[in-house]
Structure 1
Amino acid sequence: MSTEHWRPSSTHWGAFRAATDADGTLRVQPHPADPAPSPLLGNLAGTVRHRTRVRRPAIRRGWLTGGPGPTGARGDEEFVEVGWDTALDLVAEQLERTRREHGNEAIFGGSYGWASAGRFHHAQSQLHRFHNTIGGYTASRNNYSFGTSQVLLPHVIGSTDALLQHADSWATIQEHTDLVVAFGGLPGKNLSIASGGITRHTGSAALRDLGTDLVAISPLADDVPAGPGADWWPIAPGTDVALQLGLAHTLLTTGRHDQDFLDRCCTGSEVFAGYLLGDADGIAKSAEWAAGICGIDATAIRALADRMAAGRTLITVSWSLQRTEHGEQPVWAGLALAAMLGQIGLPGGGFGHGYGSMADIGDDAPAVRPPTLPLGRNPVRAFIPVARIADLLLNPGQQYDYDGQRLTYPDIRLVHWAGGNPFHHHQDLNRLRRAFGRPDTVVVHETHWTATARHADVVFPATTALEREDVGAGRRDSHLIAMHQVLDPVGEARDDYAVLAGLAQRLGTHQEFTEGRSAREWLVHLYEQWRAGLVAQGHDVPPFAEFWAAGDLRMPDVRHRAPLAALRSDPERNPLPTPSGRIELFSATIDSFGYPDCPGHPVWLPARQRRGGPLHLIANQPPTRLHGQGDVGEVSQRAKVAGREPIRIHPRDAAAREISDGDVVRVFNHLGACLAGARVSEDVRPGVVVLPTGAWFDPQPDPARPGETLCAHGNPNVLTADVPSSRLSQGCAGQHAHVEVERHLGPVPALRCSAPPPLADS
């Protein structure tokens, strides 16, 4: 195939070139500048033309014949395919009715990101811009990935960007760091992914040749990169805070802490020290105390504290640790531990959050904000923390705490979702199914018949990124990518902009939403605005036509000084945007909220006693896809066991249950059940099982529980509890659960999620 047929594009897991053979087969090549392309590019060809693509507008039969209203039929009924005008007319009518009878607060503009690396066809932005033109909507805040930290860190260091946008590069770590202590480990699988895309995957190569000693603390061996200097500490799940406090107590009582740094750059160190010594509760948080909780020998804890104090040490906490009950604590305690070492703000030292969680944490690319679509203003003040969607739908009028506020869930009558799949992200999916039964109308834009589409009333078929033009880049990307259209849209699919423009036309806001521009004209407009700002700063950036013809451009070398490094150099001249201007090891603000599940300084808070079973389930991110994206692709399907998502189990636990490698097993607790394929492995700690998220939810009758359902495909979120991290953040706590696993002895049901739901013509 000649090179002129290759067209550039991008995904959240990397930039690439694509072309089609004469028979329509999609071919993909990684971007030539990428030193370690993601294997997830292998999912593209099998995904874009899969039989689960939504091809025409479709309406759930009960809603079409019986009208809007709450129902338990969502997810089970057939759909009727209709023409675009019919679907747009009906949705516009319900939007107008909901606004008129209940107000704009009754509309939930659900969309959650990750639909596309493109900055214009960013589904969440498109949807929010549209709703702002018709009077607003109830919104969501924060994210599932690190939503707990998004609330905590502004109180403690002033912002999340102080860590996420200003993390030391891998090259800096290789040059300056003697020891990395990684709570949650450094899982290489996550270094494929970055929100908005990443052109050069540098983290994978860095982990292979880190050049520094590493202690990776995780129940999973594959959270530890291979290398001669890497040690695996198989900690008991959910006990990282105890280990952090045991290390901090050792530093304090041996005089190895940096009191000068604590006095200059922190506030509340005396309160934290008192807690470590047990002044109030009589319990010294010693190495011996920690050992009894986390399963790490006290002698090893004391020795690690000595190593940390003896050289340049970077303490990093993965995002996974804050996706748990009391998830604020490992982040805050890790920061406090780093503060006691006194190395925050030094190259290669101090504290990191997210190394091994996302590809752009540790990337050395410029800090250039890519072009973005203006959203306008939302007149509706109501919002929810993103992980409280089921609570919102099930409990209108109920009050709840969030970040010092007492809020009330509005009464949602219409849900409008684009570019996201809550049946991947959310917990306790049986409860979420009940929640989705409550609104009058659920409208979903989707490329594929995901579980979210199947639980809708109206489904608009959306294009994939390969079927439209866009501009792609992540928040720390080396390149801006011209995303050319590679394929014709499947069936009657339209991009979200066209769908929303059609609704805006019917609601009288077409000019306000589109500003009279086509999608291509928006790309030119946004790019030239972005270019003008950079040119004004003295950077040489080509006009749109040159950029588009070239296929990409190298980002200008824009750098910003890290706030924590500036604080270290002069706390008086460079204060943080916290109440004290310092790192807050004790936060008077958080303390004033009076939350027992998140007091004013880092503490050890044991998880509540959980029902469910003797095995500790970790529902981590999958190595074979991004969330649920690409689950029908070749890379994801190749990893399945008997068509089910693989669950890893230690040989000791497998033998006790007469489970062999390759068996189909039933995983269950008091919340639900799923089928999975057993992988027996010593790479997990005994008593721990690992079932990644993202297998497409496939609810079917549970033969062991008449009248209930199980997921026949292996989605772990039928097993995870829908509870918040704390009253402070209301963040996602879906990383852990307790379960039992047994061999599945009955017939293995055929999967339904790999084919469209029943469809009929209008």
Structure 2
Amino acid sequence: MIRRVPHCSHWGAYTLLVEDGRIVGVEPFAHDPAPSPVIQSVTDWAKPERRILRPMVREGWLASREGSDRRGRGSERFVPVSWDQATDLIAGEIRRVSRDHGNASIFAGSYGWTSCGRFHHASTLLKRMMNLAGGYTGHVDTYSIAAGPVILRHTLGDERACGGQSNTLDTIAEHSETLLVFGAMSPRTAQSEAGGIGAHYLEGYLRRIAERGVKVIHVSPYREDLPDWTGAEWWPIRPNTDTALMLGLAGEIVLAGRHDAGFLERCTSGSDQLLAYLRGEDDGQAKTADWAAAITGIDAQTIRDLARRLTDTRSMITASWALQRAHHGEQPFWAAIALASITGQIGLPGGGMGFGYGSLGGVGAPFVTGKSPAMSQGARPIDSFIPVARISDMLLTPGGAYSYEGQDRTYPDIRLVYWAGGNPFHHHQDLNRLSEAWTRPETIIVQDPMFTATARRADIVLPASTSLERNDLSGNKRSDFILAMAKAIEPLGEARSDFDIFNAIAEKLGVAPAFNEGRDEMGWIRHLYTESRDFAAQRLGHEMPDFDTFWAQGYAACPVQRSHTYLAPYRADPAAHPLNTESGRIVLGSDTLARLGYADCRAHPAWIEPAEWLGGAAEDELHLISHQPNGRLHSQLETAEASLADKRGGREQVRLSPADAARRGIADGATVRLWNTRGACLATACVTGAVAPGVAILPTGAWFTPGTAGGPELSGNPNVLTLDIGTSAFGQGCSAHTCLVRIEPFEGAAPDPAQTYQHELADILSAPGGDLT
């Protein structure tokens, strides 16, 4: 008999069909107009091949503890231990480091995407436990978006414009006449949402935009970052030069006297600094179409024509999160604000600017006005943090100085790393540098369902269950449903839920009563849902079903805001609705940044050459873009069917223009080597006219599989190549999209990366206690 089990993942809601303890089918959520095909891959979580099946400890660490040879991580065998032994060891390490070095020497800034569940959220539960045990060093911002929110907090007063509360897409679909898209607005990236998603709306809104005949200009090195059926005009810009194009458009508008001086005077501060820069009064170079054309590779007359159209029509400017994942990544977001202010259309339906549409599935969708279910991390007893992408810097330079949002800070001396539900050997930059940094801590604990590259490089490994093997619920501000995530199958091996693991460690640290508050799994899930339900009823008059009804039917609709125009009240009366900025207005010239005097983040939006770009490249170098793949999220489900469909020869495909491929003697389908001074990897060439000349595109998420004897990484992981520097001294975001590489045909036979990974995994699992596979 088949059981129907409601569930949810980052790719959306679905029903699992379960028979005799096995998942035999996946059906999309009935209320999802465009379900992701990736949901069919979730059954791979139930396969044991890459799962962690029991607690284990690295042989050398078990013998010598903090005195072990840390370069044995990743190659030494693991020894199986009982759960009681493992939790004893972990609690002992937390106490030791706290006592001898202080809690700031414990890095629990785990960055987790294991599950969309709001209760068994691994990184939240880790931080909750550590806050009760004296604190930890954490992180701020995310790899996806860091420089952007930092600059928005200082120029718009908060980060709502990139978090899903700019103009909702329904207003753009009905009111915009010109849609200027920088980067992507793609259903490919809109498949996923951080806290799960019930309904995917982007494709429907894009079809309405096409139906209305909105003029769409798509500015990107990759034509497929917007569906071809939108009828968009493709501008194949040089990567990392979007800021120059925005400023060139603004400069042309000012040169023609078509800027909205009244809006600038009434609603912005520091516009005189911006206007002086655009006119070239400080550097002798007016920011014109000709100036922008030389930098971006876009025709000057085409830029001039668009500048006029932006003021003649209701125009909306969008920039994807990818733009700020680059050197000086603060600037494209600030320049978009400047351009929208110059046109004077901020606060009008279908006008202004917004960020991140399509970067996640819920950005631009109707957003939740109620309370989303979430576990609390609790109060932080110590103030110790790093910007999220500065992990290698922290581990390699304890005591070193860094800055963040104008503060001067010092990196802590990390002795213990506890990572739960994440994989930095996927998402961090310059993985060879991270590998060296990873040898510095005395102890590394990894808790995860999968034997990732990070788990392989741990001292203590704990097997967490997947969401399929426990109960949970999903929900967030960008999903109009709270969704039940009912247990479908029994845990594999000795896997335990994240809550049970942390509760056991909390017990040995003496903080379990505060950690669990007397609730078990279902008690917490009921509590979290009821908090959201009561808030909706009492504050908003919105009725949601009681918990038992919700759990049985699998979903509950949330109160949402539709037809939202960002900053409309502010535009109508700036004095009555001041922004949380230094001036109470939109900041186009910043007194704060003027005082700080950073060369890499000036007092107004500015074009600043990145460390690596085509304008400074050697003749044989290409600019590498590492975007999200079609068939997975990050490194999750990398060997499942949807992910494998986009590989060739077992490797990721690197997309090249026909001219660039021909110049290098590269045929479509050939194995190629990508390299620079930071590292090298193999990939399969895909020759396509959808890529701008001078650009190579290699998806993220391939499982890090280094070759032997210093040879190239085998699977096509672009982060062996990417640049590990902050976006600026102000934002310190990730600069992954600032990266030059060389590409050449690979000579000889290349090992299969999946087989290599599994073979190496088998070696380190062949411990004295028996075969752990």
Asked if these proteins are the same fold (TM beyond 0.5), I'd say yes
CA distance change for structure 1 residues 660 and 503 in 2, over 3 Å: closer, same or farther? same
**Alignment match, 2:662:** 655
Q: Is the 8 A contact 2:370 2:532 kept in 1?
A: no
**Alignment match, 1:53:** 51
Deviation at 1:263, TM superposition (A): 0.8
After TM superposition, list the pairs within 5 Å mapping 1:41-120 onto structure 2: 41-69=39-67, 71-120=70-119
**Alignment match, 1:6:** 4
Q: Deviations over 1:411-445 (max 9, x none)?
A: 00000010111111100000101111100000011
Deviation at 1:20, TM superposition (A): 2.3
Deviates more, 1:262-271 or 1:543-552: 543-552
**Residue 435 (structure 2) aligned to one of 433, 436, 460:** 433
Q: One-letter code of the match for 2:51?
A: R
Q: Is the 8 A contact 1:132 1:376 kept in 2?
A: yes
Q: One-letter code of the match for 2:588?
A: L
Deviates more, 1:676-685 or 1:167-176: 167-176
Distance 1:41 1:533 in 2: 31
Q: Deviations over 1:718-753 (max 9, x none)?
A: 000111100001100012311111111122113233
Q: Is the 8 A contact 2:51 2:451 kept in 1?
A: yes
Deviates more, 1:660-669 or 1:327-336: 660-669
- 2:251 is the alignment partner of 1:252: no
Q: One-letter code of the match for 2:258?
A: R
- 2:458 is the alignment partner of 1:451: no
CA distance change for structure 1 residues 290 and 557 in 2, over 3 Å: closer, same or farther? closer
Distance 1:560 1:380 in 2: 42
Q: Is the 8 A contact 1:598 1:728 kept in 2?
A: yes
Distance 2:602 2:527 in 1: 48
Q: Is the 8 A contact 1:162 1:562 kept in 2?
A: no
**Alignment match, 1:517:** 519
**Residue 579 (structure 2) aligned to one of 576, 579, 585:** 576
Q: Is the 8 A contact 2:405 2:731 kept in 1?
A: yes
Q: Is the 8 A contact 1:208 1:226 kept in 2?
A: no
- 2:153 is the alignment partner of 1:154: yes
Give the fraction of aligned pairs with identical amino acids, expressed as a percent.
45
After TM superposition, list the pairs within 5 Å mapping 1:163-312 onto structure 2: 163-210=162-209, 211=212, 212-227=214-229, 229-312=231-314
Distance 2:392 2:606 in 1: 29
Deviation at 1:559, TM superposition (A): 7.0
Deviation at 1:115, TM superposition (A): 1.8
Deviation at 1:560, TM superposition (A): 11
Q: Is the 8 A contact 2:16 2:23 kept in 1?
A: no
Distance 1:644 1:692 in 2: 11
Q: One-letter code of the match for 1:753?
A: Y
Find the residue that maps to 1:430 and give its secondary structure.
helix
Deviates more, 1:589-598 or 1:367-376: 367-376
Distance 1:26 1:730 in 2: 46
**Alignment match, 2:611:** 608
Distance 1:645 1:112 in 2: 24
Find the residue that maps to 1:679 and give its secondary structure.
strand
**Alignment match, 1:753:** 757
Distance 1:163 1:622 in 2: 21
Gaps of 5+ in 1: 702-706
CA distance change for structure 1 residues 14 and 683 in 2, over 3 Å: closer, same or farther? same
Q: Is the 8 A contact 2:166 2:566 kept in 1?
A: no
Distance 1:317 1:665 in 2: 32
CA distance change for structure 1 residues 33 and 589 in 2, over 3 Å: closer, same or farther? same
Distance 1:400 1:363 in 2: 37
Gaps of 5+ in 2: none
Q: Is the 8 A contact 1:12 1:196 kept in 2?
A: yes
Distance 2:409 2:425 in 1: 25
**Residue 481 (structure 2) aligned to one of 479, 482, 485:** 479
Deviation at 1:306, TM superposition (A): 0.9
Q: One-letter code of the match for 1:89?
A: D
Find the residue that maps to 2:22 and give its secondary structure.
coil
Q: Deviations over 1:60-101 (max 9, x none)?
A: 111112222462221222212221111111111111111111
**Alignment match, 1:385:** 387
Q: Deviations over 1:142-163 (max 9, x none)?
A: 1111111121111000000144
Q: One-letter code of the match for 2:199?
A: R
**Alignment match, 1:676:** 683
Deviation at 1:185, TM superposition (A): 3.3
Deviation at 1:197, TM superposition (A): 1.2
Q: One-letter code of the match for 1:605?
A: I
Q: Is the 8 A contact 1:246 1:290 kept in 2?
A: yes
TM-score (norm 1): 0.97
Find the residue that maps to 1:621 and give its secondary structure.
coil
**Alignment match, 1:545:** 548
**Alignment match, 1:32:** 30
Q: One-letter code of the match for 1:478?
A: D
Distance 1:550 1:698 in 2: 43
Q: Is the 8 A contact 2:366 2:561 kept in 1?
A: no
Deviation at 1:565, TM superposition (A): 1.4
Deviates more, 1:552-561 or 1:520-529: 552-561
Deviation at 1:48, TM superposition (A): 2.9
Distance 1:162 1:692 in 2: 26
Q: Is the 8 A contact 1:52 1:449 kept in 2?
A: yes
- 2:745 is the alignment partner of 1:743: yes
- 2:570 is the alignment partner of 1:567: yes
Q: Is the 8 A contact 1:42 1:633 kept in 2?
A: no
CA distance change for structure 1 residues 557 and 731 in 2, over 3 Å: closer, same or farther? closer
**Alignment match, 1:694:** 701
Q: Is the 8 A contact 1:632 1:754 kept in 2?
A: no
Find the residue that maps to 2:142 and give its secondary structure.
coil
Deviation at 1:405, TM superposition (A): 0.8
Find the residue that maps to 2:66 and give its secondary structure.
coil
Find the residue that maps to 1:699 and give its secondary structure.
coil
CA distance change for structure 1 residues 378 and 616 in 2, over 3 Å: closer, same or farther? same
Deviation at 1:178, TM superposition (A): 0.1
After TM superposition, list the pairs within 5 Å mapping 1:332-371 onto structure 2: 332-371=334-373
**Residue 601 (structure 2) aligned to one of 598, 601, 604:** 598
Q: One-letter code of the match for 2:56?
A: A
Deviation at 1:164, TM superposition (A): 2.4
Find the residue that maps to 1:17 and give its secondary structure.
strand
**Alignment match, 1:704:** none
Find the residue that maps to 2:328 and give its secondary structure.
coil
Q: One-letter code of the match for 2:716?
A: G
**Residue 327 (structure 2) aligned to one of 320, 325, 328:** 325
Q: Is the 8 A contact 1:402 1:730 kept in 2?
A: yes
Find the residue that maps to 1:736 and give its secondary structure.
coil
Deviates more, 1:247-256 or 1:225-234: 225-234
Distance 1:434 1:26 in 2: 43
Q: Deviations over 1:651-699 (max 9, x none)?
A: 1111122211111111111100111111111110111110011001011
